[in-house]
Amino acid sequence: MRELLRSHAGRAATLLSASVFALTVGATAQTKITAPKNSYSPAQDVELGQQASTEVKKEMPLLNDSSVDDYVEDVGRRLVAAIPPEFQHNEFRYTFDVVNMKEINAFALPGGPMYLNRGMIEASENEAEMAGVMAHEISHVALRHGTAQATKAQKFQIGAVAGQILGAIVGGTAGSVIAQGSQFGLGAYFLKYSREYESQADILGAQILARAGYNPREMADMFRTIEAQGGRGGPEWLSSHPNPGNRYEAINREAATLRVQGPAPSDGRFASVKSELSGKPAALTAEQVAKGQGGGNQPVGTSGRAANVEPPSGQYRTYQPGNFMRISVPANWQQLGGSGQTVTYAPEGAVVQGQGGGSAFTHGVEIGVAPNGTGNLQRDTESLIQGFAKSNPQLQRAGGYSRVNIGGRQGLATTLSNVSEVTGARELVSVSTTQLSDGSVLFMIGVAPQREADTYGQTFNRVRSSIQIAEQR
Ligand SMILES: [Zn+2]
């Protein structure tokens, strides 16, 4: 995934007008930041964030330790109070929860809900380092980066499908091909940022830290620590907050223009919280959470076997997902996932709720849009597949590319083979892609058991050839 975001981020930066610029008043002036264009209202940020937060609370293992939560909350309050007035929104409610997960990660949802992994606290050397990550997250919220990214894609009339955000959180480390598909849906706009937005959040984060009494250089140190902990799989945080380039130097340069205000917070509470954490049973890994091992607060689903699934009907029914395309699918398939940017069409019994988060389907198709393409369809398709493969170790290539027509455009199709995590049986995964006019990539993933590959292969071709795209330029 990290490779995916890096390659995409470069392109996004060129598409956007630069909105971080230095004042020319003098070397000591702090950087002036302009929030990006946004067609959502702050109230919509709050609404979308609340929906997503409800999902997160159901699915993620919260630590629920009041002394740790209170401490993180106090640090958060201090930072929120230091947000420059021009980026304060009365509607926003900043909340802070600690997730009992090992990965060095944190994320914040539109309008204010923030989730900080226990692993992030454990990796911090002192309170200011932890506050550095939090100030960076708060900056994304205050600058409304999530809905600004969605604004760029608004011609697709994205619905508010908060559930997809979860796929982007948990799906990053584990989950089915299908949960992965959701990573390229709305969640991609809310949780994965372009390099330009990363720069903005670093700079505003540094300013907030200084105003709150922390040395902003500690944030730069924390990012170094995070990078150093790369290792296998890499810290999740970096895949959603890619290094915009010379991150450490840029933060320190900004720090040189800032005056740290007020008394420095003492590290006494930080030390006692850290020692309390070290006395607890180890935090869960994202993989354990995705597999429902002691994970989510959700009752365990009926995972294990797919029910009997009817073969695809010869009758077709037409849908208009996202208001920019039409697609016909067998009449006994249902549309799932609403009018969001990722929709699934599957027969009854083919969708199995995963344990501890996400869902998988054994038969059907998922359609979605991956933002920020490179302009090279084959390369973008490879990136998508690499994203799927990262969390699906059994996924294998089963053929080369063939050229296909999708909605009157040139497209590519390829076939993969996977082992279903629902049934344990080998499954066919058919991936088709085409480029939309803004450079994003429309994809269709068909999934069926290998033993039914003949029937479903034909169905997927027919569904694909039914696609019509009506983009407004
Ligand atoms: Zn970020």
Predicted confidence (pLDDT) per residue in 111-136, tens digit: 999 999 999 999 999 999 999 999 99
pLDDT for the residue 2: 24
Looking at residues 131-154, what average pLDDT do you find? 89
pLDDT for the residue 349: 76
Distance 85 CA to ligand 1 centre (A): 21
Question: For residue 166, what is the enclosing H or E element?
Answer: helix 163-170
Total residues found in the chain within this entry = 473
Cα gap 216→328, rounded to integer Å:
54
pLDDT for the residue 116: 95
Q: Would you say the pTM of this structure is higher than 0.75? A: no
Distance 415 CA to ligand 1 centre (A): 34
Neighbour tally for 455: CB within 10 Å: 14
Looking at residues 171-185, what average pLDDT do you find? 33
pLDDT for the residue 18: 32
Q: In this structure, what are the phi and psi dihedrals at residue 353, rounded to the nearest 5 degrees?
A: -70, 125
Inter-residue contact 188 to 167 (CB < 8 Å): no
Residue 144's pLDDT band (boundaries 50, 70, 90)? very high
Inter-residue contact 58 to 298 (CB < 8 Å): yes
Distance 193 CA to ligand 1 centre (A): 6
Looking at residues 207-224, what average pLDDT do you find? 95
Cα gap 258→213, rounded to integer Å:
11
Residue 369's pLDDT band (boundaries 50, 70, 90)? confident
Looking at residues 373-394, what average pLDDT do you find? 80
pLDDT for the residue 205: 98
Residue 427's pLDDT band (boundaries 50, 70, 90)? confident
Please state, in angstroms and as integers, the Cα–Cα distance from residue 218 to each residue in 134, 150, 215, following that order. 12, 31, 6
Distance 267 CA to ligand 1 centre (A): 25
Looking at residues 355-359, what average pLDDT do you find? 46
pLDDT for the residue 230: 60
Q: List the single range of 178-182, 200-204, 239-243, 352-356 with lowest mean pLDDT.
A: 178-182
- For the stretch 242-298, pLDDT in tens is 888 899 999 999 999 999 998 878 889 999 999 999 999 999 887 777 776 544 333
Query: Which residues are within 8 A (CB) of 267 and not within 5 positions of it... i.e. 6 or more apart?
Result: 126, 127
Can you say whether the dihedral through the CA atoms of 254, 114, 71, 233 is positive or negative? negative
Question: Does 319 score more than 80 pLDDT?
Answer: yes
pLDDT for the residue 200: 97
Distance 110 CA to ligand 1 centre (A): 13
Structure tokens at 311: 């073969």
Residue 49's pLDDT band (boundaries 50, 70, 90)? confident
Residue 27's pLDDT band (boundaries 50, 70, 90)? very low
Can you say whether the dihedral through the CA atoms of 379, 380, 385, 386 is positive or negative? positive
By CB atoms closer than 10 A (0-12, 13-18, 19+), residue 231 is exposed
- Determine what percent of the chain is predicted with pLDDT higher than 90: 36
Q: List the single range of 121-125, 188-192, 226-230 with lowest mean pLDDT.
A: 188-192
Cα gap 404→396, rounded to integer Å:
21
Residue predicted with more confidence, 454 or 93: 93
Q: List the single range of 6-20, 93-107, 212-226, 373-387 with lowest mean pLDDT.
A: 6-20
Distance 373 CA to ligand 1 centre (A): 20
DSSP state, 62?
B
Please state, in angstroms and as integers, the Cα–Cα distance from residue 466 to each residue in 159, 258, 462, following that order. 23, 58, 6
Distance 372 CA to ligand 1 centre (A): 17
Distance 109 CA to ligand 1 centre (A): 12
Cα gap 456→459, rounded to integer Å:
5
Question: Does 109 score more than 80 pLDDT?
Answer: yes
Cα gap 16→1, rounded to integer Å:
22
pLDDT for the residue 359: 60
Cα gap 254→23, rounded to integer Å:
12
Distance 167 CA to ligand 1 centre (A): 18
Average pLDDT, the chain: 78
Query: Quick one: which of 119, 132, 131 has its CA closest to 220?
Result: 132
Please state, in angstroms and as integers, the Cα–Cα distance from residue 69 to each residue in 80, 134, 383, following that order. 16, 14, 38
Distance 136 CA to ligand 1 centre (A): 6
Query: Which residues are within 8 A (CB) of 314 and not within 5 positions of it... i.e. 6 or more apart?
Result: 330
Residue 469's pLDDT band (boundaries 50, 70, 90)? confident
Cα gap 106→140, rounded to integer Å:
12
Q: List the single range of 13-22, 104-113, 322-331, 413-422 with lowest mean pLDDT.
A: 13-22
